[in-house]
Amino acid sequence: MEIDPSKCARDLSWTSPALPAPAGGLSAVPGHAESDPPPSIAAAAGATVDEVLARAQAGDHQAFAHLYALHKRRIYSLCLRMVGNVAEAEDLTQEAFLQLFRKIGTFRGDSAFSTWLHRMAINVVLMRLRKKGLSLISLDEAMEPAPEERPGRSFGTPDLTLTGSIDRLALERAVANLPAGYRLIFVLHDIEGYEHNEIAELLDCSIGNSKSQLHKARLKLRDALRKSSRQEERR
Amino acid sequence: MSEHSRPMSCLEFQEKLPELIASGESIAHHPHYQNCELCRALLADLETIAEAARQLLPVVEPPDDLWSQIETAIREEENSPEKG
């Protein structure tokens, strides 16, 4: 039987009677707890997220499809931002959920499920990047962009500062165009809310390296946003 | 802001910044930062970028057919002779 995860999110009539939404729910990924899928999606239709998770762990395909429906946007967005490429992000999202399928039975609830899945997806992306030759072991070298990719400096150019709000699309575009090493650090720290010590562990680099690379990434983004803003003004 | 009150030029300070940040040293207490409006504006810009990034939500939906690909891959894996 084909399972449509989009229906799973709405129609959980196959599940057990309604229970109150779990207190912890899915909101434990740092930085963006508010954007997690609301546990009430499941609870309102008759199952708590914990119940769905337990069913998926027991091998229930419909429950797994429901987990996909709940987390697909976050995982796909994460992959897309980390690699900056749609086709690769789709492939990585597929790989992340395949990994989830293989390992869901090992989830013990030591952290929130969304945090666990999120970390798994990041590792899938990092594995892929390693295979592609981005050596995260010698991170200093690997993450140092070529001279032409280094962020420009702003000596004596007080003409345009980033006052007020930053256009979301311009920022997304600028992030997608960052060199891979800068993008990884920026996405993990500034967008996903990971701390430098966590990033250092994930990327096998020093905390100082993570901090300095983040600074360079922000400088590069500032250059891109100023450029984009000037282009807008000329129109 | 007078030239004589700055131990470092903007160029020197900005080149030194990644190292200062990596070391965990307080930038706000650095003499150049305290005396240079331009470099303070630069760092304020970087904070603005970080703040804007924190507001970015996972808004991108994967393509509709991605689930069927995942489902196919799962079924293939389940039916693989290596499984179990």
Compare CB distances from A218 to B46, B68, B70 and report the shortest one's residue.
B46
User: How confident is the model at residue A9, as a pLDDT?
Assistant: 42
Distance CA B17, CA A23 (A): 43
Q: Is A59 helix (H, G, I), strand (E, B) or coil?
A: coil
Q: Which residues lie closer than 8 Å to B17 by C-beta, 6 or more apart?
A: A215, B27
User: How confident is the model at residue A45, as a pLDDT?
Assistant: 56
Q: What is the CATH number of the domain that holds A17?
A: 1.10.1740.10
Chain B contact present for A114, CB below 8 A: no
Enumerate the domain spans of chain B: 3-58
- Residue A39's pLDDT band, with cuts at 50, 70 and 90, is very low
Question: ipTM more than 0.85?
Answer: no
Statement to judge: residues A145 and A123 lie in one domain: no
Sign of torsion over alpha carbons A67, A111, B58, A10: positive
CB within 8 Å of chain B, chain A residues 157-216: 158, 161-163, 165-166, 168, 171-172, 175, 186, 190-191, 193, 206, 208-209, 211-216
- Based on C-alpha coordinates, what's the Rg of chain B? 25
Q: What is the CATH number of the domain that holds A186?
A: 1.10.10.10
Chain B contact present for A78, CB below 8 A: yes
Residue A189: domain span: 139-149+165-234
Least confident of A150-159, B24-33, B65-74: A150-159
Compare CB distances from B49 to A4, A213, A222 and report the shortest one's residue.
A222
pLDDT of A47 above 80: no
DSSP B3: G
Statement to judge: residues A169 and A125 lie in one domain: no
DSSP A36: S
Measuring CA to CA, how many Å separate A155 from each of A163, B8, B39? Answer: 18, 13, 9
Alpha helices in chain A (DSSP H): 5-10, 40-45, 49-57, 61-83, 86-103, 113-131, 139-143, 168-176, 180-186, 196-203, 207-234
A160 domain-assigned: no
pLDDT of A56 above 70: yes
